[in-house]
Structure formats: C-alpha cells, structure tokens
Amino acid sequence: MNIAANPMVEADQTVYLKDYQKPSYVVDSIDLDIQVFDDYTHVNSKLVMQRQTAGDLVLLGRDLELKSISINGEVLSADAYRLDAEQLRISNAPDQAVIETQVVIHPENNTQLEGLYLAGKDLFVTQNEPEGFRKITFYPDRPDVLSVFTTRVEADKKFPVLLANGNLLEKGEAGEGRHYAVWQDPTKKPSYLFACVIGDLAVLKDHYVTSEGRNVALEIYAEEKDIPKCHIAMEALKHSMRWDEEHYGRPYDLDNYMIVATSAFNMGAMENKGLNIFNTSCVLADEEYTTDAAIMRVQSVIAHEYFHNWTGNRITCRDWFQLCLKEGLTVFRDQSFSEDLQSAAVQRIDDVAVLKAHQFPEDSGPLSHPPRPDHFVEINNFYTATVYEKGAEINRMMATLLGKEKFRAGTDEYFKRHDGQAVTVEDWVAALTAGSGVDLSSFLIWYNQPGTPKLEAKGEYDAANQTYTLSLKQSLKAHPKYPNLKAVPIPVALALFDATSGEQLLLSSDALVENGIKDGVYLFDTDTATITFSGVKTKPVVSLLRNFSAPVNLEFNYSDEELAFLMQYEPNGFNQWQASQTLLERILLNGHDADIYIQAIQKTLPSVVQRDPLLASRLFEVPTEGYLGSRIDTEYNPEKVQEQREALLSTLARELGAFCKETYLTLDPDLQKDFSQAMGVRALKNIMLSMMARQGDADVFDLAEQQYQTTGNMSERLGALKVLVWNDAPQAEAVLADFYTKFKDEALSMDQWFMLQAAHPKATAETIKALTEHADYDLKVPNRIRAVTGGLNANPVNTWSFGVQHIINLAKILDEKNPIVGSRLLQILSRWYTLAEPQRSTVKAELEALKPLVKSKNVSETLNSMLSV
C-alpha cells in the first residue's frame, strides 16, 4: 500500500537540528547481496536490528522497486507496513527484528551520480554521502546508525574488478559467465561510508607498514592508460599515513586501502572506509598532462580522504548538521599536511585566498549560514565553503591558541573518548577542552553564527608617554534567521616593527602579560577592547592578524606607506602577501594611488624571485576581477572593476617591463632544487610572459610559441597557450588545434582546453555555444561542465552578461539530470543583487523565471535562498 505523503512534510521540507531524535532501532549487522545486470540490479539485504527506544521501525528508501520484505522469516503483507516515496515504516515491530528485503534498482539510468551508478562504459561505482545509500536498499540511512557490513557483489566477468569495503572473504564462479566476491568490513560504520565498485580497471599496487607493524596493501584502480599517472597519488598516500602517525598518533586500522578513479563524479573524492572513490581530477597527476596546481590538489585530496579515516570514519557525525565536525577538522589537517609540500607561507596564502574568494562572499550574501547550520531542506546544499573552509579556520584558531602540545593533548582526548561513536561539535570542543586544560567553549559561538565578523582596529602612538594604544571593535551584520549574534573569540596575532630599521620590536614581557598576549597572540573576545604597550620609543608599524589568525574582515587605519613597509619588512611571506593584497584592494576599489605599491614591489620582488620563486609568484599576483567584485556590496559594475584592474596591470607592465623580460629569460625550472620551487618558477615565468604581452613586447608571441612547442610540462604549455589565445596571436588557432590533436584522449587535459577557451576575455555567447556543442562536451561528466562554467566565470563581465543564460539553462537541465551539480552551478549567480541597475533587474527576472521550472529540492532551495534578499 502506498500512503499519500504527509502534507505537513510536503508543505515544509525543512529539517531542524532541534528535532534530532535517536533512532528507534540499531543495526547490529547488514548482509548485502548486489547482483548487477545490464538493464537492472538486484539488491537483497538482511538487517539484524534491535530496538533502542520506543517508536516505529523506519527504513529509508528512494526510487527502489520493492519485490519482497520479511521480518523474522515471515513475509510481510502490504498492509503490515506503510511505504511512501521516502520511507518504509513498520509499527509494532518486535524488539529483535531480522528484516530481509529484495529490491530492484537501475544504476544504468542513474544520471544523478548518487547511490550506485554507471560511471562509464565499464564501471559501476557508489556515492553514498550524505543520503545515497537509501537509493541502493531500504535502511536507516543516517550517520548515527553504525553497523558491520558484509557485501556480496556479483556481475558479468566483463567486469573483472569486484570491490567493497573491508577484507575479501571469498570469490568464485556464479555461472553463466558471471562471478562474485564477498567482502566484510570489521569496523562498524554508517551507511554513507559504504562503497562498492564493479568494473574493468587496471591497478597500481604498493604497501605500507604502520607504526604498529601492520602491513597494509595499497591499491589504486584506474584505466590502464592512466596507471602511470597514479604514482604521485601513491606517494602522497604513504606520506599521509606516516604524517597522521607522527602528528596525531593515528595509525591505519585495516589490511588494505583502495582508491578507485572515475571521471563521472560530482565532487572531488569520497572517504568510504578502506575504499575511497576519487574524481580522476583528484588522483591522476603527471607533469605532461596535468597542471602544477592540479598536482598539488591531488596530494592534498589524497591526504584529506586518508585523514578522514580517523576524523570522519572512526569518529563520525551524529547527524548531518554536524558535517563541519568531520570536514572542518579534516580540511585543517590536510592544510597542515600540505605545508610540508610547499612552504608553509605559500600554503597559507593559497588557503586564505580560497577562503576570501569563496567563503567570505558566501557568508556575506543570501546563502550565508553558520558552519553548523540549524536547519536545511537539502543537505547536499551544505557541502559549502563555510562548512569546509570556515570550519577549518575555527579549528586553526583553537590550535593557534593552544599551541602544538596542548592541541595534541586535546585531540588525543577526542580519539580516546569517542572512537567508534557518532558525535557532535560540542563533543569535539569538550574533548579539546578536557585534554588541553584550556576552556574553549566560547568557540562554539563560531560554529553557530553566520557571517564574517568585522574587526575594526585603530592604533595611536603617544610620543610624550612612549605608549602605543590599539583599540579593537568587533561586529557582525544582522541576519534575519539568526538573531542574538554574540561576540566571538578572535585570536589576533600581532607584532610591532621599528619604522626606520624594519626590525621587530621586542616588547617587554610586562607589556605582553598586562595585555594578555601569549606567543604573539591576543585573544579578543569582547565587543571592544583596548591594549596599551608602554616603553615604545618611536612610532611603530603594527602588523595585525599575522598568518590570518582569524577569519575576519580587518579594517585598520594603516597608511599606504605602512602597508608598503610591511610588504618589505614582514619576515613572514604570508604577512608580506597580506599587506600587498590590502594595498592593491585600496588601489583597485578605493582609488588610491598606485605609486607606493609599485615602488614597494620593485624593491621587494627581485630578491624574493631569487630566494623563493614560488613566494614571488604569489606576491606578484593582482586580485582577480571576481574577488574584487565580491568585495562590493551594492552598485557593482563589473566593467568598471575590469577597467581599473586592466589599468593597473598596464602600468605594472610598463614600469616593470625590463624586469619581467629579464626574469622570463633567465629563470629555468629545470635548475630548481625541488618540485615546489620549479612550480614557482613556472608560475612566475607565465606571469612574466603575460606581462610582456601586455606591454606589447615584439618577441612575446615567438617566445610563447617556443615555450609551447618545446616543453613537456602542462603548466608551461598552458601558460604559453593562454598568452597566444587570449591575445589573439596569429598562431592561436594552430596551437589550439595542435593541443587538441595531442591531448584529445586525455580528459583532464581536454578540460583545460575547454576552460582556456571559455576564459578568453573576449569570449562571447557564440564561444560558449560552440564549446557546449563540441563533440567532446558531455553533460554526464561534471568536470567538463565545470571546465566551461569555470572558464566563463574567470571574466565577471562575461558571466554577468551572456553567461547568465548559460548558467540558468544548465541549472534547468541539471535540475532533472543531476541536481547536486545543478544547485552548485547556480550559486555562481548568488551575488546578483549587488549589481548596478539595469543588470540587477535583468538577472533577477531571469532567476524568477526559473523558479516555476525547477523541481529538485537542491535547485529550488538554492534558488529560493538566492532570491530572498
């Protein structure tokens, strides 16, 4: 019997954190039998369940064809349960219930890429986080139900690889050209961590011996031709395993660790227990085919998914509101790991750049939400920059405050208390507090509030009394859904410098103790505060929020000269970068004069180029038009921002022309001591090449063509290709065609080819149309869709004119085919309301027109929020 869906649920599909209730039944074990055929898949399951609290026995299921259900061996008649589109409900079930179900599903038609789906000609994979498992079988599909999974997978022998989580118990013949494998995962886990893979793949093998002496078989599965591109990921995996032992005392706990690469994947990668599934873009790494940035990303995502084994899998989330418990902590851990791969300063620059370019705008607009939201309609919409990146910053602040040893004592306590449990953000903060002996409970405010705090600071020097006084004030923009905003604890890392010598002032310990400053960090946790340093003999230059010690918008009454001073004299590369970015923002958005900046960069850059080319490549970066646009809250005019930025770049090219050419001609990536320096040299050379083009250098196209033709490195090749294509050089068509011929069978390289053309500054609606009608454009592969939208969005002037229609069309199509991706792409337009008229009204009307056309919870929740400003 199908009962009508509950009208209350239909009217308001919002789920609230405050309504959390324990599940009425636990599952001791699940036996799954998955039989894959060309046109359908049979899934049989047996759940051993036990009552825990009063209430119905509820199994969640979506798009499942139920063939039979029995309880303790007795087949249930249709009136013994209630079934709707979301769940199967049994009232008065016995306290001990063995439930067996048989269902039919259709992974071969699954375009949403969640649950079990066909991911290419010869590959079936799963994606079950957050709520995909209910599309495989009926189950209490929620993260607080942990069980032991035994999985039998059966398929035609044209799929030689049959994988699931845990240990392989047996495999054998199943008749009629079919075979099977049985896997068992000894560790209890929630259903979102279940995975299986059925396919025809090659494998790269290695092994790792843990600190406890466990010999772990490591396997990376990919297409045969891609196996040579898996070595960097394999090395990163072993490095991550060692790193987690050394930094957190966490060894791996199974005898195997498998990674499977697929090109049909909604996100980056997934931490399924012992059987990670990865987007090819996050596992394949090879200088010839993928960029340096992509290679760095592969290593950090490998680490991220590996670190989830302890922060996410062994200790998981009680409910999906707690998502940032596992994601924020795991991102913080992978960022720390990546500090070993490039310099810590550059890693911090890259992480803060991402935070400010994505999380800050999200948090200042209609999609703003706390790192731990208290309500949602569709949880897939909450895998956001706020949950991941701001979540990581909260952990970083606590780690900064505690220092290495106490933070480690805190995490040790967390693992000791909660191993094997599904917990909350409160549990995490309580364990850190108990282990470190430092009360961190006020940091819970960060988890529960939306918005980026504004930190206003003023410095005053009193020459007569030789004091320097710093006044601080924090505030948050009001949010309709979250009233009662409170002051948050903000660790402010600071230093004072002598304005003439550039030396850091060593303040007397009295001055520090009086002001509550420990290890250079002042904890500002009230609405306002004042700190006074005495014995300061001359007017100092203060450096605030060093290493970006808190995710806040700092407004400090620096003079431009002081910022230029910090660009030169801050000993830490991150702080130099922060000063230069602040100065550039003033020039580009507030009309400040560029001279001071140009002089400072001329003084700073040459020595950094020699000493640390990677850092130099970052210091010489001008904020993107997209980032600059995100700093404007009303009357945003993309053309005007473009004009300002172009003007500055032209001035820089003119003033630094000779230096750029000399740097381009003398730097050689092959002479660098390691990958990260070589990567820096390549980045720097590419910047220099584009500056030369801007300056109208007569040789530049020849040099670019030469760079394109002679290199075997993708970053060098793309850097040259960009200069030729974006400047409409005579060679442009020929090199684009050459690239296509060389790389047409390499999907990740082709993504770059699509992206680069979509990102042409003079791209038009026709450019985008031609790309999306190209034979190699494929709506089933999110990477390819994102290559075009990502390229388009590199130029906000284009995004906000003809781009709007492209994105709205995609949202409409994907609303049915792949709502997770559709909803994410639509967010590109989330800052429509900041536009100046008439653009603002035009885009608004187009968004309004989309409203009645979309059905998925994903796209409609996003669209409703976007329009609720």
Residues 232 and 286: beta-carbon distance below 8 Å: yes
Distances (CA, A) of 639 to 83, 118, 782, 798, 832: 55, 44, 30, 10, 15
- How many CB atoms lie under 10 A from the CB of residue 207? 13
Distances (CA, A) of 281 to 226, 751, 781: 12, 10, 12
What is the closest distance, in whole angstroms, from the C-beta atom of residue 679 to Zn ion in the complex?
25
Residues with catalytic roles: 305
Mask: binding to ligand TRP, 261-300, rule CB under 6 A, as x and -?
-----xx-xxx-----------------------------
Residue with tokens 């009233």: 483
Binding segment (CB under 6 A) for ligand TRP, from list 17-25, 123-131, 434-442, 797-805: 123-131
What is the closest distance, in whole angstroms, from the C-beta atom of residue 222 to ligand TRP in the complex?
18
Token pair in block for residue 249: 């005392």
* CB closer to ligand TRP out of 130 and 623: 130
- How many CB atoms lie under 10 A from the CB of residue 296? 19
What is the closest distance, in whole angstroms, from the C-beta atom of residue 115 to ligand TRP in the complex?
11
Give the closest residue to 455 by CA, choosing from 470, 440, 445: 470
Residues 303 and 336: beta-carbon distance below 8 Å: no
Distance CA 68, CA 75 (A): 7
Q: Which residue is nearest to ligand TRP (CB)?
A: 267
What is the closest distance, in whole angstroms, from the C-beta atom of residue 382 to Zn ion in the complex?
13
Q: What is the footprint of ligand TRP within residues 313-352 (CB under 6 A)?
A: 327
* CB closer to Zn ion out of 154 and 389: 389
Token pair in block for residue 167: 């240990």
Task: Please name the amino acid found at residue 238.
Answer: K
Q: Which does 450 bind (CB under 5 to 8 A by kind): Zn ion, ligand TRP, none?
A: none
What is the closest distance, in whole angstroms, from the C-beta atom of residue 793 to ligand TRP in the complex?
21
Largest Cα–Cα distance of the chain, in whole Å? 95
Query: What is the dihedral angle through the alpha carbons of 397, 402, 406, 408, rounded to the nearest 10 degrees?
Result: 20
Give the closest residue to 198 by CA, choosing from 116, 256, 283, 302: 116
* CB closer to ligand TRP out of 112 and 617: 112
Angle (CA) 143 308 61, round 5°? 25
What is the closest distance, in whole angstroms, from the C-beta atom of residue 128 to ligand TRP in the complex?
9
Mask: binding to ligand TRP, 819-848, rule CB under 6 A, as x and -?
-x----------------------------
Candidate residues 129, 226, 287, 716; the one interacting with ligand TRP per rule CB under 6 A: 129
Strand-strand pairing, 422-423 and 316-317? parallel
Give the closest residue to 33 by CA, choosing from 148, 195, 194, 180: 180
Distance CA 586, CA 705 (A): 36
Mask: binding to Zn ion, 799-838, rule CB under 5 A, as x and -?
----------------------------------------
Give the closest residue to 583 by CA, choosing from 595, 571, 573: 595
* CB closer to Zn ion out of 327 and 562: 327
Residues 495 and 520: beta-carbon distance below 8 Å: yes
Q: Which does 363 bind (CB under 5 to 8 A by kind): Zn ion, ligand TRP, none?
A: none
- How many CB atoms lie under 10 A from the CB of residue 446? 25
* CB closer to Zn ion out of 299 and 715: 299
* CB closer to Zn ion out of 316 and 757: 316
Residues 776 and 744: beta-carbon distance below 8 Å: yes
Residues 804 and 829: beta-carbon distance below 8 Å: yes
Residue 818 interacting with ligand TRP (CB under 6 A): no
Site size with Zn ion, rule: CB under 5 A: 2
Mask: binding to Zn ion, 301-340, rule CB under 5 A, as x and -?
--------------------------x--x----------
* CB closer to ligand TRP out of 268 and 761: 268
What is the closest distance, in whole angstroms, from the C-beta atom of residue 300 to ligand TRP in the complex?
11
Instruction: Tell me the H-state helices in 155-230.
Output: none
What is the closest distance, in whole angstroms, from the C-beta atom of residue 296 to ligand TRP in the complex?
16
Q: What is the footprint of ligand TRP within residues 194-213 (CB under 6 A)?
A: none
SS3 137: coil
Q: Which does 127 bind (CB under 5 to 8 A by kind): Zn ion, ligand TRP, none?
A: ligand TRP
* CB closer to ligand TRP out of 748 and 820: 820
Write out the residues near Zn ion by the rule CB under 5 A.
Answer: 327, 330
Write out the residues near ligand TRP by the rule CB under 6 A.
Answer: 127, 129-130, 266-267, 269-271, 304-305, 327, 380, 383, 820
